[in-house]
Amino acid sequence: MKTIVLRPLVFITMIIWSVSGQIPTTLDGPFNPVTQKFDPSLRLGSDDLPMTHPRLKKNVTSYFPEQIALAISSANSMWVSWVTGDAQIGKNVTPLDPSAVGSEVWYGEQSGNYWKKQNGVSVIYNQLYPFDGLLNYTSGIIHHVKIDGLEPGSTYYYKCGDSSIPAMSNEHVFEMLPLPGPESYPRRIAVVGDLGLTTNTTTTIDHVVANMPSMVLMVGDLSYANQYLTTGGQGAPCFSCAFPDAPIRETYQPRWDGWGRFMEPLISRVPMMVIEGNHEIEPQAAGVTFESYLKRFAVPSKESGSNTNFYYSFDAGGVHFLMLGAYVDYNKTSAQYSWLQKDLGRLNRTVTPWLVAAWHSPWYNSYSSHYQEFECMRLEMEQLLYQYRVDIVFSGHVHAYERMNSVYNYSLDPCGPVYITVGDGGNIEKIDVDHADEPGKCPSLSDNVPEFGGVCHTNFTSGPAKGKFCWDKQPEWSAYRESSFGHGILEVVNSTYALWTWHRNQDIYKENSTGDQIYIVRQPESCVVSAQVTP
């Protein structure tokens, strides 16, 4: 095994190693598939948090900021977002004037000493349902300010709001991520998917906070506001089952406000990078979709040349992240594909050795739920990502955990990415437990039709599923799977080694909460980047 040179920031890694013994690496693989037996008690505790819950209630008055959040803009700048004013829900709603409240951030490197001020933009959005009995919604004023001139690795104190009213927030603090470089990485990156607002969500986020991340990667399906009627009430694990006569897939938009308040203690001091999932589609009048996602979150879209929140990229130290959209056009003729080619073509792997991609819907998935759902996207994009040697892919959507062996085109390949599904954040739809390879659990060809894109079921020409739709045993590319709520932590050690740890929620109060742990190892000498994509 190669010698690992550890940096001071990963002293926790050395402690983990010394306590639990040697941690496996992907160089030891491919591994024989493992399925951890499902614990049926984990289905309990997925009740939604009520809007009266202390962590969801509004605790400020008038135009004071709430739902404060950070997002990475660049190595020297950060987005600060927040909401002011009162959202409205009813048959007739009157939108607020976004210009009625200023968008200011005051910041500096010493507590109480704010040497610089930046102004930004403010917006509102509406969620409209022109149907009898359905209520409309108009948001509070959503503010986005980009603060710049920041030093990588430095700590900053800030307040946001409108100083002329005055209505400024309390002081918050954050630490900038390190400058991109081959030996410069965030301490810990938390990866969460399909979160929602349940009792399990609470456990997940409390566990994330206890793990002290320097960044949060949220891989879609955030608030689950679309599991409710516009009148609120009880959320449903299955919307179509509970509300079969609904004229449109309704949402209860105040859940978004509750979600912003719930997350604020974490994401007001740690940047959260998001990508859309299917629960963010939220169709409304005139075919409008994704309004809450597009208006509530600031992402480095213009900074990365995409000009849309649906897909973008950013650097976090020596890691380049690709945030791809599964619910917008991803075909080879699309704007997204063209942008992706350009973004990959600009990469300098001597500066950002690690290449990590994230999107909501997994390509590799052995669970019955969402099985083969996004084959069309895989067929369009997989070869491009493989030839540029993407190292890790994170997805959600399937409400369970699964880590793959390095794979390309359903074949074991040491140069293929390690695909990881973490759609087990704690949402109301509960955990997925059935595997497509189990007797009687293979979905039909008409199941799992995606909300966007076509169906591209393929008959496999090699491997255990040759000539079949489902495997008859756990596929060889599936290394480890377990039906549990949880989250992951990625700790990049150096330019070739990264420690991945998946934490089960049920073990949060135990000494060792590790459900799955492995060093993911890059092999740049043998897996050379090839910019030329063959047809």
Domain with 45 in it: 26-50+184-220+311-521
User: Does the predicted model carry a pTM greater than 0.75?
Assistant: yes
Give the model's pLDDT for residue 62: 86
- When pLDDT is averaged across residues 192-196 and rounded to a whole number, the result is 97
Do the domain assignments include residue 469?
A: yes
Which of 318, 312, 284 has the alpha carbon at shortest distance from 297? Answer: 312
Please determine, for residue 14, whether its predicted confidence score (pLDDT) is greater than 80.
no
- CA gap 252, 235 in Å, rounded: 9
Do the domain assignments include residue 20?
A: no
CATH of the domain at 201: 3.60.21.10
CA angle (387 as vertex; 385, 388 as ends), nearest 5? 65
C-beta pairs of 456-459 under 8 Å, 24+ apart in sequence: 456/375, 456/376, 456/379, 457/372, 457/375, 458/375, 458/379
Q: Is the peptide bond before 300 cis (omega within 30 degrees of 0)?
A: no
CA angle (264 as vertex; 262, 270 as ends), nearest 5? 130
**Highest averaged pLDDT of the listed ranges 45-49, 343-347, 452-456, 467-471:** 343-347
Take residue 171 and report the two structure tokens written for it.
Answer: 């002081």
Do the domain assignments include residue 7?
A: no
Do the domain assignments include residue 277?
A: no
Considering only the C-alpha atoms of the chain, give the largest distance between any 2 of them, rounded to a whole number of Å: 69
Do the domain assignments include residue 158?
A: no
Give the model's pLDDT for residue 461: 77
Dihedral pair phi/psi, residue 505, rounded to 5°: -65, -40
Give the model's pLDDT for residue 10: 38
Neighbours of 451 (CB within 10 A): 15
Do the domain assignments include residue 136?
A: no
Classify the phi-psi angles of 73: left when phi > 0, otherwise alpha if psi is within -120 to 50, otherwise beta. Answer: alpha
Please determine, for residue 12, whether its predicted confidence score (pLDDT) is greater than 50.
no
Burial of residue 351 (CB within 10 Å: 0-12, 13-18, 19+) is middle
Model confidence pLDDT, tens digit, residues 426-442: 999 989 999 999 999 99
Would you place residue 510 in the very low, low, confident or very high pLDDT band (cuts 50, 70, 90)? low
Q: Based on the residue annotation, tell me whether 399 is a catalytic residue of this protein.
A: no
- When pLDDT is averaged across residues 210-236 and rounded to a whole number, the result is 96
Model confidence pLDDT, tens digit, residues 49-78: 999 999 999 999 989 999 999 999 999 999
- CA gap 90, 253 in Å, rounded: 11
Contact 408, 386 (CB under 8 A): yes
Q: Which of 207, 360, 370, 487 is catalytic?
A: 370
Which of 374, 372, 408 has the alpha carbon at shortest distance from 388? Answer: 408
Domain count, the chain: 1
